[in-house]
Amino acid sequence: MHRAVKVPECRGGPRPLVYVALPEEYGPWAEAEHLPTLKSAFQEICGRPAPLAPTAWGENAPRIALPLPQTVLALDPRIPSSHQELRILLENTRQKDKVILFVDGEPLEDVTGETVARWPLARGEHLLELIMPRTTHAVRFTVL
Which pLDDT tens digit goes with each residue over 50-62? 333 333 555 677 8
**Which domain range does residue 97 map to?**
54-144
Q: Using CA atoms in the order 31, 33, 34, 36, what is the torsion angle rounded to 10 degrees? A: -80
Residues 35, 77, single domain; the answer is: no
Nearest in space to 62 (alpha carbons), one of 30, 88, 86: 88
Position 126 scores a pLDDT of: 94
Residues 71, 37, single domain; the answer is: no
Residues 30, 76, single domain; the answer is: no
Residues 116, 142, single domain; the answer is: yes
Centroid of chain to Cα 122 = 16
Position 23 scores a pLDDT of: 72
Residues 81, 127, single domain; the answer is: yes
Q: Distance of CA 21 to CAs 1, 3, 25, 52, 73, Å?
A: 5, 7, 12, 26, 25
Domain count for the chain, please give it: 2
Amino acid identity at 31: E
134: CATH: 2.60.40.10
Residues in the chain, pLDDT under 50: 48-55
